[in-house]
């Protein structure tokens, strides 16, 4: 089984990816938080993609947009940086993204999706994969979308079997993923609600044919989850502390203002506190803290 770390905006940048590679080296492929398909990359994006910041990991840039020409302009820049594959995001359910007809919002018009993929696949110098949802409002939308995806030699298709308006609530639509396995013959990757070894076993029992899994929230809540799936013991506090401290040091080296360091780490702790007793107590303290000194005292309390 191949394991992928899902891209999460504002969280899974190179600092966090490297901490996983150093302390939980079980992830086969990492995807960048989505990069806008535009004419030029920002300095922040270039830093996140830089080879020297991603030395021990297999990294795939993920692009978001709604125009083939803009995707292709960014793909050519990625080729110049040495990348061999790219992922197109048609799965982000965020309202602000969808309102711009990007992410899952682009799924509203399967014909337009087909035209875009046809041009990108024809002209891209890189292998192309797609991350998708199964529709906007109705699971029956999948049939038309599936009819599009089946036409193209994608490197792989990563399916989060929820609708856009499901966001992350409710149960993934497993029957829709089962239909996808029957209809599509490029490699399929399952993504959605794997937060424990038991969740993994349920998914792989339901779909024994799959050979790749993408995990997002589950790996942020429990960085050692893939290790546990592979038969290793749960991560102890010492390893979690070392993982955290590397992220902290990376943030201190990257961000100029202490408030930016604290803000970034607050986002990570929203998930990571689930690995500790008294989660709500510590999450409340971290949310309220305003200074790096106060933050460090709370972290010491958590790990002690």
Catalytic: which of 92, 189, 251, 289?
92
Q: Is 151 annotated as ligand-binding?
A: no
Say if residue 131 carries a ligand binding annotation: yes
268 Cβ partners below 8 Å, 6+ apart? Answer: 11, 16, 220, 247
User: Does 216 count as an annotated binding residue?
Assistant: yes
With H, G, I as helix, E, B as strand and everything else as coil, classify residue 129.
Answer: strand
> Cα–Cα distances in Å, from 286 out to 162, 174, 230, 243, 250?
31, 36, 32, 18, 19
Q: Which residues pair with 128 in a beta bridge?
A: 86
Is 251 among the residues known to form the active site?
A: no
Within 8 A by CB and 6+ apart from 28, the residues are 2, 3, 4, 58
Q: Which residues contact 198 (CB under 8 A, 6 or more apart)?
A: none
Helices H / strands E in the chain, number of each: 14, 10
Residue 241 contacts residue 31 (beta carbons within 8 Å): no
Distance (Å, whole) CA 201 – CA 58 = 25
Measured CA to CA, the distance from residue 19 to residue 248 in angstroms comes to 10
Buried b / exposed e across 25-44, counting CB within 10 Å, b at 16+? ebbebbbbbbbebeeebeee
8 A C-beta contact, residue 3 and residue 28: yes
Tell me if 160 is assigned to a ligand binding site. yes
- CA–CA dist 148, 113 (Å, integer): 8
User: Residue written as tokens 């030395």?
Assistant: 55
Residue ranges of the binding site: 62, 131, 160, 216-217
Residue ranges of the binding site for FMN: 62, 131, 160, 216-217
Query: What is the set of active-site residues?
Result: 92
């Amino acid at each position: 089984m191949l394991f992928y770390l899902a891209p999460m905006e504002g969280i899974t940048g190179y600092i966090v990816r490297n901490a996983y590679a150093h302390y939980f080296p079980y992830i086969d492929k990492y995807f960048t938080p989505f990069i806008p398909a535009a004419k030029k990359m920002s300095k922040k994006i270039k830093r996140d993609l830089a080879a020297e910041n991603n030395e021990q990991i297999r990294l795939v840039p993920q692009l978001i947009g709604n125009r083939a020409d803009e995707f292709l302009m960014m793909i050519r820049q990625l080729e110049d940086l040495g990348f061999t594959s790219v992922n197109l995001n048609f799965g982000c359910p965020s309202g602000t993204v969808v309102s711009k007809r990007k992410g899952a919002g682009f799924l509203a018009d399967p014909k337009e999706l087909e035209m875009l993929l046809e041009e990108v696949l024809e002209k891209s110098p890189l292998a192309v994969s797609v991350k998708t949802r199964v529709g906007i409002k109705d699971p029956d939308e999948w049939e038309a979308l599936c009819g599009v995806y089946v036409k193209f030699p994608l490197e792989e298709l990563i399916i989060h079997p929820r609708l856009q308006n499901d966001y992350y609530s409710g149960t993934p639509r497993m029957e829709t993923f089962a239909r996808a396995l029957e209809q599509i013959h490029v490699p399929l990757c399952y993504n959605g609600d794997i937060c424990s070894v038991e969740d993994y076993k349920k998914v792989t029992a339901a779909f024994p044919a799959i050979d790749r899994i993408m995990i997002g929230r589950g790996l942020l809540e429990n960085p050692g989850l893939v290790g546990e799936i592979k038969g290793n013991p749960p991560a102890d506090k010492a390893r979690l502390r070392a993982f955290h401290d590397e992220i902290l040091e990376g943030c201190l080296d990257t961000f100029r203002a202490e408030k930016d360091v604290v803000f970034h780490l607050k986002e990570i702790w929203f998930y990571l506190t689930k690995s500790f007793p008294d989660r709500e107590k510590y999450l409340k303290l971290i949310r309220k803290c305003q200074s790096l000194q106060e933050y460090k005292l709370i972290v010491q309390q958590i790990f002690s």
